[in-house]
Amino acid sequence: MRKTLTIALSKGRILGETLPLLEKANIVPAEDISKSRKLIFDTNHEHIKLVILRATDVPTYVEHGVADFGVAGKDVLMEAATKNLYELLDLKISKCRLMTAGVVDQPLPNRRLKVASKFSKTAKAYFAEQGIQADVIKLYGAMELAPIMGLADLIVDIVDTGNTLKANGLEARDLIAPISTRLVVNKAAYKTKYSEIEPILEMIRNAVEDNEGK
Ligand code: PRT
Ligand code: MG
């Protein structure tokens, strides 16, 4: 009997690029995910199921082994700092950059910096690594507001075109990490379900290469 494999997908912008990639890998949900309120989906493979999660919850489900695979942004994986999973594949979708940003032309003050971010652990680690003294304030959204309101000197946020920063009088400063979406697997599952995991991994790897070739 083939063991069941559960793939946890991040909803939101990543999902829109993940589903076509999975389709190329011949993994197709049994019904239209965008038209359903369900969170668990059967696929064209009897032993493969998809679950749709809040992006930040994907590493948690994979870490606990209730999902075997996970699809999540490198930013989310860095911030979760989960030990119990392997990053198997760069899916090369939803690419962006994790950067510091500040008010246009405003120099940094000569004191301990105030940094606001949703990525508070990553931000702390980055400034520590740079040898820069910084207090990090955790936010859950609208990071762009923090420097304007004087809550922080810098923010750490995702940048793509830079339009969001620009619209708020901010500019990107330093690159912390290039970001793309990754396929992760639970470490224990990778051993115990290897014969189920390996062919799927191969199909997804080929789909990524196919995408890249375009
Ligand atoms: O909304 P919620 O808090 O639930 O989560 P979310 O907004 O983080 O999720 P979602 O659906 O937006 O997807 C986030 C994931 O997509 C991230 O984890 C990244 O890996 C990836 N990604 C790729 C991005 C972007 N590009 C992106 N541009 N995530 C966010 N943005 C946002 C950014 O936060 C900023 O507000 O877009 C804005 C910047 O874009 P530009 O083009 O104006 O620079
Ligand atoms: Mg969002």
- CA-nearest residue, atom 30 of ligand 1: 158
Ligand nearest to the CA of 118: 1
Q: What is the residue-wise DSSP string for 152-199?
A: -SEEEEEESSSHHHHHTTEEEEEEEEEE-EEEEEEHHHHHHTHHHHHH
Q: Alpha-carbon distance 103 to 54, whole Å?
A: 31
Express each pLDDT in 184-203 by its tens digit.
999 999 999 999 999 999 99
Q: State the maximum Cα–Cα separation within the chain, in Å, rounded to a whole number.
A: 65
Residue-wise pLDDT tens digits, 124-162? 999 999 999 999 999 999 999 999 999 999 999 999 999
For residue 156, give the ligand nearest its CA.
1
154-159 and 113-117 as β-strands: parallel, antiparallel, unpaired? parallel
CA distance linking residue 37 with residue 35, whole number of Å: 7
Q: In the prediction, which pLDDT does 75 show?
A: 98
**Short-list 44, 55, 51, CA closest to 118:** 55
Ligand 1 site residues (CB inside 6 A) read 12-14, 54-55, 73, 75-76, 94, 96, 157-164, 179
Residues of the chain with CATH 3.40.190.10: 5-94+180-212, 96-178
Q: Give tens-digit pLDDT for 81-104.
A: 999 999 999 999 999 999 999 999
The reply to whether CATH 3.40.50.10300 applies to domain 96-178 is: no
CA angle 45, 20, 157 (to 5 degrees): 120
pLDDT band of residue 213 (cuts 50, 70, 90) is confident
Q: At residue 61, what is the residue type? A: Y
Mutate to test the pocket of ligand 1, among 34, 58, 90, 96 (most ligand atoms within 8 A of CB): 96
Q: Which ligand is nearest to the CA of 14?
A: 1
> What are 126's two structure tokens?
């980055």
pLDDT at residue 39 greater than cutoff 90: yes
Pocket-testing residue among 13, 18, 155, ligand 1, by greatest number of atoms within 8 A of Cβ: 13
**Residue 29 C-alpha to ligand 1 middle, in angstroms?**
24
Distance 98 CA to ligand 2 centre (A): 15
How many angstroms is it from 66 CA to the middle of ligand 2? Answer: 25
194 torsion bin: left (phi>0), alpha (psi -120 to 50), beta (else): alpha
Using pLDDT thresholds of 50, 70 and 90, give the confidence band for residue 214: low
5-94+180-212 folds as D-Maltodextrin-Binding Protein; domain 2 (3.40.190)
